[in-house]
């Protein structure tokens, strides 16, 4: 298996340096990762560094807590598209979810989806599965699956629990077949990466990507 093709090589720490982005993009091209996922201020830089390669440029919206206003997320989406992002990883409003305000979440995705799809970009929705009940995860699968997103993503990597095989299996069971799954958060070795893919993940968000490709235990924190 070419595991590199599943990986979004990621750096999202708030102290990210230009040199970090240069290294990330260089490694992405060298190993053939699917994408790099970078903080919004670095989208232009990553896009330039990856020019001529097949590696996509991804960024995050409403990251990491998701409670930005819909209007703020929309502004982030528009700027990311202008800057050249191919893929947008959007954190849902978890406060709305935990307060059982599914109408808010429906309104949020209905405002963001048309802009992203009109521009032909890929949308990945992050639900932070590690802090949700199975019932909440299933409701998310139903809501976002019906909305027509491209990927449902497990985690930001900033919650107390990241990706799990159980969550990915639950996603796959309750999502429409055309909606893909991105597992992220705490994926640091090849064995766990393979388990997530076997469970149904078609993308992996990792900062320990090089170690994973080499089949080694990584030390990166996403």
Query: What is the per-residue pLDDT across 83-138, written as a single tens digit (0 to 9) for each?
Result: 999 999 999 999 999 999 999 999 999 999 999 999 999 999 999 999 999 999 99
* Distance in angstroms (rounded) separating the CA atoms of residues 39 and 85: 11
- Tell me, what CATH number does 151's domain have? 3.20.20.70
Please indicate, yes or no, if residue 221 is contained in any of the structural domains: no
Active site residues: 89, 153, 182
For residue 34, the enclosing domain spans 3-213
Question: Cα dist. 57→83, 84, 94, 187 in Å?
Answer: 10, 8, 25, 20
Which pTM value belongs to this model? 0.95
What average pLDDT score do residues 163-186 get? 98
Q: For the chain, how many structural domains are there in total?
A: 1
Please indicate, yes or no, if residue 220 is contained in any of the structural domains: no
Please indicate, yes or no, if residue 43 is contained in any of the structural domains: yes
Cis peptide before 140 (omega within 30 of 0): no
Please indicate, yes or no, if residue 219 is contained in any of the structural domains: no
Q: What does the pLDDT look like over 179-198, one tens digit per residue?
A: 999 999 999 999 999 999 99
> Angle at Cα 114 formed by Cα 98 and Cα 90, nearest 5°?
40
**Residue 131 three-state SS:** helix
């Amino acid at each position: 298996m070419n595991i590199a093709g599943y990986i979004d090589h990621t750096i999202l720490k708030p102290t990210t340096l230009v040199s970090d982005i240069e290294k990330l993009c260089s490694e992405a091209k060298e190993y053939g990762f699917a994408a790099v996922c970078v903080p919004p201020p670095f989208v232009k830089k990553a896009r330039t560094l990856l020019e001529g390669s097949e590696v996509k440029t991804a960024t995050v919206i409403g990251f990491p807590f998701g409670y930005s206003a819909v209007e703020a997320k929309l502004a982030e989406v528009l700027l990311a598209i202008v800057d050249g992002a191919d893929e947008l990883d959007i954190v849902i409003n978890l406060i709305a979810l935990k307060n059982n305000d599914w109408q808010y979440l429906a309104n949020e995705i209905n405002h963001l989806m048309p802009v992203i799809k009109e521009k032909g970009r890929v949308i990945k929705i992050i639900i932070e599965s590690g802090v949700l009940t199975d019932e909440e995860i299933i409701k998310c699968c139903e809501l976002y699956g019906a909305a027509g997103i491209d990927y449902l993503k497990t985690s930001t990597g900033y919650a107390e629990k990241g990706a799990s095989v159980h969550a990915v299996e639950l996603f796959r069971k309750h999502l429409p077949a055309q909606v893909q799954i991105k597992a992220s958060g705490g994926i640091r070795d090849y064995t766990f990466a393979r388990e997530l893919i076997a469970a149904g993940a078609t993308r992996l968000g990792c900062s320990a990507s090089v170690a994973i490709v080499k089949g080694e235990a990584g030390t990166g924190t996403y």
